[in-house]
């Protein structure tokens, strides 16, 4: 685990410039179970584009944090994530290059509405400075301005321009973009390629935003995706979850809940703000169940509606996990939190209360859920609810832990330290099985690797910088590319297949097999595909199978390998990108390598 935590830091610093070619999402066949999605209501907000109104997104699950902007880290055009050459500067010699990230991910086509993230070098202070973006070659056109500011949970220093370049009136070809930062005498350029609209792959040319209204909710989705395919089941599911949440919290939703079904992985699969966003696709390498995601996010929505002068993040997230019966999956919270304590992974509650989102993700959510469960079991739901809603900000800008401490003394006549002592005592009394320990350990490893993968191969998806522009504006503008395009190189498909296989074995309790898949992913991320393919059989097999199917025009969705046999689900080209087609293959290994033994359905 120490190596994983080192890798997280290393990838953050060194792999921001990784570039991945993109295609489209490829959902599974209708007869398969509901796709999976995970929950990560990360705090985010959006910057103010010079030429358009502020999206005004404020997360329901992090109301007590300072508004933070998030964007994405993703390739675009020919020179995405460019190390642009400095043409003139008044800052000290040796300054690092700015990074430019274009959205949508991957190739740009005529008709795209292009957004820009301009990331400052760590050693350059650009806070509050103004960036001006101009199209300079072969035509001259101003595209807009943006101010550098802290962005995302990590406070990344960047300027963001949303949909600043509408390419619908331009011809295909090469274009030069010029960036200038004032009052610094700093300028640099970047050349991007705009491809003909006729080359845009399906289903994007026909894709559009659509909606379905249920008793509780308005579901927004993109046509030609898994969400459209499964809309009847989804409509029933959201109403069921809304009813359950209302019963548990003893209140009704004041208005229709707006839910956006994303056809790609974002973060760990779920975000709450003015709308609920949930990843819904078949190749969801971040795992978990759609039911829990929706339940978790609806708890946030109704919890926010019920209000409170201060709802500390620790308890906001703990309440959602507790009422959902788990974080990424149904799980016994107290025994699993007790396993954390046994493994010395337990985080002190004061530290967790004041630094929830930067803390180790799975540990923080599990502890928070178990703490709420312990308090409800100890004092009952009415007493806990009254305490929770009564918490007030600490005087003089004090911390959330101080606010919790004051409310505990008022309601239960004990301090935060006293509460933690009782909580730890209860955890030590729990019966912890070896299965609990193994599952907790591998779950933490799994999601650490998911985040490493995102930073290296799917940066727009990483929860610290997820590209989630204002949904209402996207629908008004008819923008679907920002969600439909994401990396699907052979490397992406192989790694996602390994992660999916690990998740499947983890959920079935096949811990040795899950550990094997995770070891393969870790080796690839640490040493690259060539080394991993030579040193790890599962990595080599998955890479080889992915390439074999790609050579036949298929995009691998899932792989299950057992000895010299493999079962593979793959999408056949353009039909599969619409989420309506899936083929199943059986492969066998011989001395000459893997070969397709049989195509099981057509």
- Model confidence over 105-147: pLDDT tens digits? 989 999 999 999 998 887 788 889 999 999 999 999 999 999 9
Burial class (CB in 10 A: 0-12, 13-18, 19+), 380: exposed
69 within 8 A of 160, measured Cβ to Cβ: yes
pLDDT at 602: 53
CA distance 363 to 400: 19
CA distance 553 to 538: 23
Both tokens of residue 402? 């101080």
The arithmetic mean of pLDDT across residues 208-226, rounded, is 96
- What percentage of the chain carries pLDDT values higher than 90? 63
Split at pLDDT 50, 70, 90, the class of 175 is: very high
C-alpha distances out from residue 254 to 246, 250, 279, 291, Å: 11, 13, 25, 22
Question: What is the CB neighbour count within 10 angstroms for residue 368?
Answer: 30
Domains defined along the chain, listed by start: 69-199 (2.60.40.1930)
Split at pLDDT 50, 70, 90, the class of 314 is: very high
Q: Is 111 left (phi over 0), alpha (psi -120 to 50) or beta?
A: left
491 within 8 A of 498, measured Cβ to Cβ: no
Q: Cis before residue 138, ω within 30 degrees of 0?
A: yes
C-alpha distances out from residue 370 to 268, 327, 356, 556, Å: 20, 11, 15, 38
What is the distance in angstroms between the CA of the first residue and the CA of the last residue of the chain?
43
530 within 8 A of 547, measured Cβ to Cβ: no
Both tokens of residue 499? 């992660």
CA distance 377 to 366: 16
pLDDT at 420: 98
Is 334 or 25 the better-scoring residue by pLDDT? 334
The arithmetic mean of pLDDT across residues 523-539, rounded, is 88
Split at pLDDT 50, 70, 90, the class of 86 is: very low
Split at pLDDT 50, 70, 90, the class of 81 is: very low
Mean pLDDT over the full length of the chain: 83
Q: Is 269 left (phi over 0), alpha (psi -120 to 50) or beta?
A: left
Both tokens of residue 380? 């009952």
Both tokens of residue 360? 């180790």
CA distance 463 to 153: 9
pLDDT, tens only, 285-311 = 998 789 999 999 999 999 999 999 999
CA distance 259 to 211: 10
The arithmetic mean of pLDDT across residues 441-466, rounded, is 93
Residue 183 makes CB contacts below 8 A (sequence gap 6+) with 129
Largest CA distance in the chain: 73
Both tokens of residue 574? 């353009």
DSSP-based helix, strand, coil % in the chain, nearest 5: 40, 25, 35
Is 49 or 340 the better-scoring residue by pLDDT? 340
Residue 111 makes CB contacts below 8 A (sequence gap 6+) with 167, 168, 197, 200
pTM attached to this predicted model: 0.83
Strands (E), 400-508: 485-487
- Of the candidates 464, 481, 359, which has an alpha carbon nearest to the alpha carbon of residue 71? 464
Is 421 or 357 the better-scoring residue by pLDDT? 421
CA distance 278 to 324: 15
Split at pLDDT 50, 70, 90, the class of 234 is: very high
- What percentage of the chain carries pLDDT values higher than 70? 82
State the residue for tokens 């899950």.
Answer: 514
CA distance 133 to 475: 25
Least confident of 81-90, 415-424, 566-575, 590-599: 81-90
Split at pLDDT 50, 70, 90, the class of 580 is: low
Q: Is 255 helix (H, G, I), strand (E, B) or coil?
A: coil
The arithmetic mean of pLDDT across residues 168-192, rounded, is 93
Whether 224 shows a pLDDT value over 70: the answer reads yes
The arithmetic mean of pLDDT across residues 422-446, rounded, is 97
Helical spans, DSSP H, in 465-593: 471-477, 481-484, 490-508, 511-527, 529-535, 537-551, 573-577
581 within 8 A of 572, measured Cβ to Cβ: yes
CA distance 586 to 509: 24
Whether 91 shows a pLDDT value over 60: the answer reads no
pLDDT at 577: 46
State the residue for tokens 């999206």.
Answer: 55
Whether 462 shows a pLDDT value over 70: the answer reads yes
CA distance 341 to 337: 7
Residue 102 makes CB contacts below 8 A (sequence gap 6+) with 74, 75, 76, 77, 80, 108, 114, 115, 116, 117, 192
The arithmetic mean of pLDDT across residues 180-187, rounded, is 88
The arithmetic mean of pLDDT across residues 262-268, rounded, is 93
C-alpha distances out from residue 65 to 31, 47, 60, 314, 388, Å: 42, 16, 11, 12, 17
The arithmetic mean of pLDDT across residues 485-512, rounded, is 91
The arithmetic mean of pLDDT across residues 158-165, rounded, is 95
Q: Is 259 left (phi over 0), alpha (psi -120 to 50) or beta?
A: beta
Helical spans, DSSP H, in 191-252: 226-229, 231-249
Split at pLDDT 50, 70, 90, the class of 45 is: very low
Whether 423 shows a pLDDT value over 90: the answer reads yes
418 membership: H or E segment, kind and range: helix 416-428
Partner residues linked to 36 by β-bridges: 281
209 membership: H or E segment, kind and range: strand 209-213
pLDDT at 8: 46
Both tokens of residue 387? 């305490």
């Amino acid at each position: 685990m120490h190596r994983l935590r080192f890798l997280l830091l290393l990838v953050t610093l060194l792999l921001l410039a990784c570039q991945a070619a993109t295609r489209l999402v490829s959902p599974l066949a209708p007869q398969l179970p509901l796709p999976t999605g995970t929950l990560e209501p990360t705090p985010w907000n959006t910057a103010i584009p010079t030429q358009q109104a502020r999206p005004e997104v404020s997360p329901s699950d992090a109301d007590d944090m300072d508004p933070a902007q998030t964007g994405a880290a993703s390739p675009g055009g020919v020179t995405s994530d460019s190390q642009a050459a400095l043409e003139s500067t008044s800052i000290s010699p040796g300054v690092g290059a700015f990074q430019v990230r274009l959205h949508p991910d991957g190739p740009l086509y005529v008709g795209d509405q292009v957004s820009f993230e301009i990331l400052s070098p760590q050693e350059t202070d650009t806070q509050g400075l103004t960036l001006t973006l101009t199209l300079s070659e072969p035509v001259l056109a101003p595209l807009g301005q943006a101010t550098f500011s802290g962005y995302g949970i990590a406070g990344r220093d960047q300027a963001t321009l949303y949909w600043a370049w509408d390419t619908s009136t331009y011809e295909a070809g090469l274009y030069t973009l010029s960036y200038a930062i004032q009052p610094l005498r700093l300028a640099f350029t970047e050349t991007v390629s705009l491809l003909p609209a006729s080359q845009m792959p399906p289903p994007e040319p026909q894709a559009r935003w659509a909606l379905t209204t249920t008793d509780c909710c308005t579901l927004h989705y993109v046509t030609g995706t898994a969400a459209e395919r499964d809309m009847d089941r989804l409509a029933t599911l959201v109403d069921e979850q809304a009813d359950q949440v209302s019963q548990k919290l003893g209140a009704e939703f004041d208005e229709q809940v707006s839910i956006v079904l994303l056809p790609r992985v974002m973060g760990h699969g779920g975000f709450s703000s003015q709308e609920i966003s949930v990843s819904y696709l078949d190749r969801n390498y971040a795992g978990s169940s759609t039911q829990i995601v929706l339940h978790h996010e609806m708890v946030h929505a109704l919890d926010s509606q019920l209000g409170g002068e201060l709802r500390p993040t620790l308890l906001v997230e703990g309440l959602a996990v507790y009422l959902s019966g788990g974080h990424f999956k149904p799980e016994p919270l107290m025994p699993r939190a007790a396993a954390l304590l046994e493994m010395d992974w337990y985080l002190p509650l004061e530290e967790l209360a004041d630094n929830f989102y930067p803390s180790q993700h799975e540990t923080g959510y599990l502890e928070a859920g178990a703490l709420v469960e312990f308090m409800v079991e100890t004092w009952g739901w009415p007493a806990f609810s009254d305490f929770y809603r009564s918490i007030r900000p600490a005087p003089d800008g004090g911390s959330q832990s101080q606010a919790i401490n004051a409310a505990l003394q008022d309601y239960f006549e004990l301090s935060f330290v006293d509460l933690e002592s009782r909580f730890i005592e209860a955890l030590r009394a729990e019966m912890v099985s070896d299965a609990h320990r193994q599952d907790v350990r591998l779950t933490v490893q799994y999601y650490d690797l998911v985040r490493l993968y995102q930073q290296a191969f799917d940066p727009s998806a990483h929860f610290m910088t997820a590209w989630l522009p204002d949904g209402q504006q996207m629908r008004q503008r008819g923008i679907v590319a920002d969600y439909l395009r994401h990396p699907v190189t052979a490397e992406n498909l192989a790694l996602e297949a390994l992660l999916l296989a690990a998740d499947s074995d983890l959920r079935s309790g096949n811990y040795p097999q899950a550990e094997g898949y995770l070891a393969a992913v870790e080796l690839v991320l640490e040493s690259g595909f060539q080394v991993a393919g030579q040193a790890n059989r599962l990595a080599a097999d998955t890479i080889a199978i992915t390439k074999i199917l790609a050579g036949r025009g298929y995009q691998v969705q899932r792989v299950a390998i057992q000895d010299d046999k493999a079962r593979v689900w793959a999408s056949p080209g353009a039909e599969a990108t619409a989420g309506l087609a899936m083929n199943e293959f059986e492969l066998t290994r011989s001395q000459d390598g893997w070969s397709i033994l049989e195509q099981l359905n057509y």
